Amino acid sequence: MGLVATDFGIKEALDQLGIKEVNAGSSTGSDFFASGEMLDSYSPVDGKLIASVQSSTMDDYEKVIQTASEAFKSWRKIPAPQRGEIVRQFGERLRELKEPLGKLVSYEMGKSFQEGLGEVQEMIDICDFAVGLSRQLHGLTMHSERPGHRMYEQYHSLGIVGIISAFNFPVAVWAWNTALAWICGDVCVWKPSEKTPLCGIACQHIAASVFKENNLPEGISCLINGNYTVGEMMTTDRRIPLVSATGSIRMGKIVAQKVAARLGKSLLELGGNNAIIVSPDADIKMTVIGAVFGAVGTAGQRCTSTRRLIIHEQIYDKVKDALVSAYSQLRIGNPLDQNNHVGPLIDKDAVRMYEEALAKVVQEGGKLLLEGGKLSGEGYESGCYVKPAIAEANNDFEIVQHETFAPILYLLKYSGEIQNAIDIQNGVVQGLSSAIMTNNLREAEQFLSVSGSDCGIANVNIGTSGAEIGGAFGGEKETGGGRESGSDAWKIYMRRQTNTINYTTELPLAQGIKFDL
C-alpha cells in the first residue's frame, strides 16, 4: 500500500522528503526493500492512515547487516575530519528540509509543529557538534616506567552501532547516535519505533542521498522497520558490538540482559520520573512556566517530562492556585495549528494508560485538582486527545512511583529543610532529570552536591525538559546509565586501546621483573 493521508500539507511534505510511495521497511542505502508483514502508520492527529510499510524479515535483516559490515571496512579508513565533512553535508540537508521533516514528525507522532521543528533543530545541532568533534577524538599520552618506552591511548572505530529508538523523539535520538557514530567511523543500523516508521524512512532518504552524492558505499546508514522481533535480532547479534536503546525500563532490562549475555555493550536511555523542587525562595512565575511546559509539552510524552512537583508547605497553596490558573489557559487540539499548546497522545493505548493512572491515584487516596479526561467531538476524532490533569498525591503511591507517559502532574508537599525535598525526589527508581526552583544559593548548591539529586541531569531555575546537545544526556538508576549527545559521549562509540612502544635495543620488563635467558 502506498501513501494515504494528504491533509495538512503532509503529502507536499513527503514529496519534499522524497517519499513518493512507501512499500518497504528496510534499507541499506537509497533503495528500500522488505518482505515482511505490513506495518500501518496512523496519525494521532486525525486518526487517519498515513501509509503502510512492510516490516523486515530475518532475510531482510541479514542483508542489511552484511551490507553494513562491508561498508564499515572502508568507512573506518576514511580520516575522521573527512567523515565530519559528510556529517556537515547531512546537517546542511536537514536545514533545507527542516520544515517538511518537522511537519512529518508533528503529524506522525502528534507533538506540536514547533516541537517538531525543534526536534529537527536538535538533529542539526548534533551534526554541528559532531563536525567539530571529528577533529578532536583525542587520546592520551603518558610516561612509561621503563626507559626508552612511550605509552599512549587511542580510540578506534567500533563497528556496527544498532539503534532502537522510541516514538516520542522519532528523529532526534537517532541523529544523536548516528552523527557521533559516523564521525567515529562506525556504521549504523536503525530500528525506529513501529509507531513512527515514516519518520525513519524520511531520515534514511536524506542520509542515503548525501552518501550517494559522495560516492560512499551503501550500508553506512541502514534502516530496518518492524516490531520488537526486529529489535531482538539486533540485541542477540554478535556482529553488533553496541546497541543503543531508548524506551521503557521494561524494554531496557530485556535489551541489557540480551546484550550482556554476549558481552556486548549497551547504551540505555530509559524511563524518567522527573521532579521539580519548589522552595520558599522560588520565583513563582518562573516555576509555573517551567512546570507547565515540562508537564504538558509533547502531551507529557517526554522522558524528561515533569511528573512530580515537590512544593514547600509555606507556598504550596500559592503554587497550586497559580498552576490551576495556568492550566485553564491551555489550548488542546491539532498540533499543526500553532495556536494550540497540547496535541494528542500517540495512540488509544496511551489514552487507556492515562485513564487508568487517574483512577489509580484516586484509589490510592489522592485528590484530582484538575480531573482531566478524554476529549471527543469535532477536532478530536482520533480518540487520542486528553486534558492535562493535576493531582495531589504522596510520593509512596504506587502510581506516583511509576512513569505514565501522559500529561499528569502530581503535587507533593514537603516541610522543613531542603534535604527533605531532595530525599522525596530521589525516592523513585528512575534517575533521569531533576530541577530545583530557588534563589537561595545554599539550597542550589546542596541540590547539586553529592548528597543532592541522584539524577543524570540536575538543573537550577529551569525545568526538567529541554536539554541542550552540548551536555551529555542520560540518567542513573533504572534510567539505564547511558549518555548520549554532547560532552565525551562519543567514547561509547569507539574501542579504547593502550599502546606501548619500545624504541631501544633492550627489553626491560614492567615492575622491575628480571627474566634473563
Q: Where are the domains of the chain?
A: 7-270+480-496, 274-468
Q: Which residues of the chain, if any, have pLDDT below 70?
A: 1-6, 21-25
Q: Residue length, the chain? A: 517
Name every residue whose Cβ is closer than 8 Å to that of residue 235 and which is 6 or more positions away in sequence.
Answer: 162, 243, 245, 254, 255, 258, 259
Q: Residue 241: its pLDDT value, please?
A: 98
Q: Residue 441: its pLDDT value, please?
A: 98
Q: Residue 25: its pLDDT value, please?
A: 67
C-alpha to C-alpha distance for 468 and 57, rounded to whole angstroms: 37
Q: Residue 22: its pLDDT value, please?
A: 60
C-alpha to C-alpha distance for 435 and 455, rounded to whole angstroms: 10
Which of 184, 188, 222, 303 is flagged as catalytic? 303
Domain covering 274-468: architecture: 3-Layer(aba) Sandwich (3.40)
Which of 119, 122, 194, 269 is flagged as catalytic? 269
| CATH fold of 7-270+480-496 | Aldehyde Dehydrogenase; Chain A, domain 1 (3.40.605)
**Whether residue 269 lies in the annotated active site:** yes
Q: ∠ CA(494), CA(498), CA(502), 5° rounding?
A: 145
The CB-side HSE value for 205 (13 A sphere, CA atoms) comes to 20
- Three-state DSSP at 506 gives coil
Supply 386's cell numbers.
486528553
Q: Is residue 18 a contact partner of residue 316, using CB atoms and an 8 Å limit?
A: no
Supply 297's cell numbers.
509539552
Q: Residue 106: its pLDDT value, please?
A: 98
**Whether residue 303 lies in the annotated active site:** yes
Q: ∠ CA(421), CA(423), CA(427), 5° rounding?
A: 120
Q: Residue 1: its pLDDT value, please?
A: 42
Sign of the CA dihedral running 23, 24, 27, 32: negative
